[in-house]
Amino acid sequence: MFKLIPLEAIQPYILTLRMDAESQAFFDKQRELYFPRERNFLKAHISLFHQLPNDTFTKQQLKDVKQAPVALKITGMQNLGAGVAYKIESDALQDLHRQLSACFKDELIPQDRQRYRPHITIQNKVTLEQAKALIEKLNADFEPFEITGIGLDLWTYRGGPWEFDVFYPFKG
């Protein structure tokens, strides 16, 4: 006998860290300027997990997270090969990621089991030369700055586009 799998179970969740509004606007503008227009379907984001089960367990675990807003230091540019990102350093974010990894340890895909390297992609799917040129341009007057993570955004992956599901604000 076959077991029917609900459609929503096939479409996994994606978990991102929501940043403060001012920072969101800044990084969205960076994507607007540097991301290839034909590929720029998403707002700037900080990925935590690329695939979590689309089920009530996932939502309950995220609802139960006790977390104060997270300070994030933007420390420089990161070469992604065919793109560019802003590097993020934050002990609190690393701790949160470890905590969530433990909750979902049996469900994580290999990509999400790797060492966590938080970043905000502002350019992707370009030539190596274009990426290198952008890094040089942005590094010319870069100074580290801080932003704040204010909660968790849960998205449903729809085979390309993401559909927003729920926001879990940090308290504290």
- Please report the pLDDT score of residue 3 as a whole number: 52
| DSSP single-letter state for residue 105 | T
Q: Where are the domains of the chain?
A: 25-169
Determine which helix (DSSP H) or strand (DSSP E) holds 153, and give its type and residue range.
strand 145-157
- Please report the pLDDT score of residue 158 as a whole number: 85
Two structure tokens written together for 146: 């801080």
Region of 112 please: left (phi>0), alpha (psi -120 to 50) or beta: alpha
Nearest to 126 by CA among 27, 48, 31: 31
- Please report the pLDDT score of residue 15 as a whole number: 98
- Please report the pLDDT score of residue 39 as a whole number: 81
- Helix, strand and coil content of the chain, in percent to the nearest 5, comes to 35, 35, 35
CATH number of 25-169: 3.90.1140.10
- Please report the pLDDT score of residue 159 as a whole number: 78
- Ordered per-residue pLDDT tens for the chain, 172 residues: 555 445 455 789 999 999 999 999 999 999 999 998 888 788 999 999 999 999 999 999 999 999 999 999 999 999 999 999 999 999 999 999 999 999 999 999 999 999 999 999 999 999 999 999 999 999 999 999 999 999 999 999 987 779 999 999 999 7
- Please report the pLDDT score of residue 91 as a whole number: 98
